[in-house]
Every structure is written in C-alpha cells, then in structure tokens.
Amino acid sequence: MKFNLQFLRGKTFLRGIVLLLLAGTFATVNFGCSAVDTFTNLQRLQFKLGSVNNFNAAGVNVSNLTSFSQIGILDIANLTANVTQGKLPVGFTLNLIAKNPNTAGGSANSSSLLKRMEWNLYIDDTPTINGVLNNIVVPGTGQESTIPMAVSMDLMQYIKGQGLENLVNLALAIGGRNGSSSRLSLRAKPTVEIFGIPVTSPEITIVSHQFSN
C-alpha cells in the first residue's frame, strides 16, 4: 500500500502541474488576444481638430465677438498696454477629436489606452508651443471621443511684426464667435505600450478639415 499511496500522490501532483500549465496557456492566449485587439484599435485611430472654446487675450474674452470694433474702450486700453510691452498672453481650449473607424479588425465594445502623445502646435504653419498628453482613452470602433487641450502662450513671441488689430483679428479668427481651428494644426507622436514596451508612431499632422492617422 505504501507504493500505491506514493503513486497516487505522484498522479495528483502531475495532474496539478497539467492543470496549471493549461491555465497558464489559456491566460497567455487571452492576454495575447487582448494586446492584439488593443494594438489593432490604436493603429486604426484617427485624429482631427475640433472647436476652440474660451479664447481670451490678456484677460479679454473674445469668444462671443466677431470683429475688432466690438471690443470696449477699457479692453482696448488693456490690450494696447500689453502689446506696447511686447506681449499678448492668450489662453484657450482646443478640442482634439479621436476616432476609431468602424471597419473590420477592431472591437466595438473595448476601449484602449494611449499612454502618451507629444504635440507641437502650429498657427498658420508657424511653430508655437509644445506639450504632452498622457493616458488618453481611445474609443472602440465606430466611436469618437473629444479630448480638451488647455493652451496658453504669449502670442507675440511667435507671431511677430503684427500690430494690435491684426493680432486681435487672428485671435477672433481662431476663437471668436465665427472662429474655427482651421488656422491651427498639431504635429504629434502617439505612444502606446505593448507588453510594457513603449511604441511611438511616426509623426502625424492633425488638422481641422479631415481626420488624420
């Protein structure tokens, strides 16, 4: 009976090893499939510039204005004082739209995570500020998500040789009541992590009139 007991114990041990191996294989397959789905969705992701909100120039809100003539006397004095000192601080929210096209190969129900996106902002093809977006949630196929980007800069540092009215008209063209992001573009490098390894895509140019990927 001693031999049989050891034999049974050996069989139990071997059966446990087999079950563990099967469980490990199943988990690895599931993890691999999940990583493939994530990478597929991220490869297909497209970007576009959306609306510009809450545009202010030296504290003057221009979001509801359509022309330079609508700015009040006190605000003109404030803007003039700033420009005379060689500066024009502006701030606004630029909405970045991410879209995962509804085509074969992706998952409609699973979102993914874009770990990092380095970006450079251009105004009329003139480079201005740069920054980084972290942990962007990527929608499943056929969906869009809007990522608000807070932008702050000294406009006169990048747009040179322009007087007050031209600078304000530029601000109105971007963030006024009839403004749009058509004079802006982003040059960006998205980064994802696959099995913990960062993978950065080549630089893409993001504009307002079409989705880019």
Rounded to 5 degrees, what angle do the CA atoms 207, 210, 211 make?
85
Distance of CA 110 to CAs 40, 133, 136, 138, 155, Å? 11, 21, 14, 9, 40
pLDDT at 139 over 80: no
Token pair 């993890």: residue: 31
Band the pLDDT of 145: cuts 50, 70, 90.
confident
Identify the H or E element spanning 14.
helix 2-44
* pLDDT score of 9 more than 80: no
112-127 mean pLDDT: 91
In this predicted structure, the answer to whether residue 114 has a pLDDT above a threshold of 70 is: yes
- Block residue for tokens 């993914």: 112
The listed range with the strongest mean pLDDT (99-103, 113-117, 182-186) is: 182-186
Is the model's pLDDT at 10 over the cut of 50?
A: no
Please compute the mean of the pLDDT values over residues 58-83 and round it to a whole number: 96
Confidence of residue 41 (pLDDT cuts 50, 70, 90): low
* Nearest-angstrom CA–CA distance, 59 and 89: 8
Give the pLDDT mean for 99-124: 76
Structure tokens at 133: 């977006």
Say how far apart CA 8 and CA 209 lie, in whole Å.
72
Read off the pLDDT band of 134 (50, 70, 90): very high
Q: Which DSSP category does 201 fall into?
A: P
The rounded mean pLDDT for the chain is: 81
Is residue 198 scored above 90 in pLDDT? no
How large a percentage of the chain has pLDDT more than 70?
A: 74
User: What sign does the dihedral 14-17-23-24 (CA atoms) show?
Assistant: negative
- pLDDT of 143 reads 79
Distance separating the N- and C-terminal Cα atoms of the chain: 71
Average of per-residue pLDDT across 3-29:
42
Position 27 pLDDT exceeds 50: no
Q: Length of the chain in residues, anyone?
A: 213
Amino acid 39: pLDDT: 56
Identity (one letter) of the amino acid at 113?
Answer: L
| Stronger pLDDT, 176 or 201, i.e. the higher one | 176
- Please state the rounded mean pLDDT for residues 93-97: 96
Confidence of residue 184 (pLDDT cuts 50, 70, 90): very high
The mean per-residue pLDDT over the stretch 168-177 comes to 97
